[in-house]
Amino acid sequence: MRLYVDSSRCSGCNACRVACSLSVFGENNPKKASLVIEPHFPAPGVYKVRVCTQCGDCAAVCPTEAIKQDAQGAYYVEFSECNLCEACVPECPEEVMFVRPELADTAWKCTACGDCVAVCGTSALWLGEKEAVAA
């Protein structure tokens, strides 16, 4: 399972990011969300949203094996095992692997929980199966 986005439908409201921080940390703090909305204003007046594709590149380089896979195939960070080394951050092709020690004493990422989907009024976000990887 992974999150998909159609950026052209995004209105930049950030409800998804509040829901995400609540899901991941139990906090109201979109700075601790696992997806990114980039506004491009005043021109060309669009939002670009970046979400985790659950590719697993972060898990592959984690020296403490803190990034694990759940039964649905989504990767999540086991907070107690993260040592904030940041090895995962540059590996993420979508730039949605986060380490910000001033905000949290662990790395974090999207767990494909779907709470962001539940609050998105423009149907810009949805959950789906991961695409089959070509052999």
Partner 1 sequence: MNGYGGHILRVNLTTGQVKKEPTPADLARDYLGGRGFGIYFLLKEVPKGADPLGPENKLIISSGPLSGLLVAGGGKCDWTCKAPLTGGYASASMGGHFTAELKYAGLDSIILEGISPKPVYLFIDDDKIELRDASEYWGKGSMTVEKMMKDKFGEEFQCAVIGPAGENMVSFAHINHDFGRQAGRGGVGAVMGSKKVKAIVVRGTKSVPVADLEAYRKAGMALYKACKDAEGLKEWTRYGTTIVTSWCNEVGALPTRNFSAGSFEGAQGIYGQTMREKIVVTDKGCFGCPCPCGKYSKTKKYNSYVEGPEYETIGLLGSNVGIDDIEAVAQANLLCDEMGIDTISAGNVIAWAMECYEKGIFTKQDTGGIELKFGNADAVFKMIEMITKKEGLGALLADGVKKASQEIGKGTEKFAIHVKGMEQSAYQTHNATAMLLAYMTCDVGAHHNRAWAITYDIQVGREKVVPEKVARVIWLQHFRPMFDVLGACRLQWVELGIDRDLYVPLLEAITGIHRTWEDIEKVGERIWNLTRLYWARENADFGRAWDMPAPRFYEDPPKTGVTKGQYTKLEDVNKLLDMYYEQRGWDSNGLPKPETLQKLGIPQELVA
Task: Tell me: does residue 84 bind partner 1 (CB under 8 A).
Answer: no
Question: Mask 44-73, x = binds partner 1 (CB under 8 A)?
Answer: xxxx--------------------------
Is 19 in contact with 115 (CB distance < 8 Å)?
A: yes
Nearer to partner 1, 22 or 67 (CB): 22
Is 54 in contact with 74 (CB distance < 8 Å)?
A: yes
Residue 77: count other Cβ atoms within 10 Å of its Cβ.
Answer: 25
The window from 26-34, 54-62, 75-83, 125-133 that contacts partner 1 (CB under 8 A) reads 26-34
Q: What is the dihedral of CA 116, 47, 5, 70, to 10 degrees?
A: -50
Size of the site for partner 1 (CB under 8 A): 35
Contacting partner 1 within 87-106 (CB under 8 A): 102-103
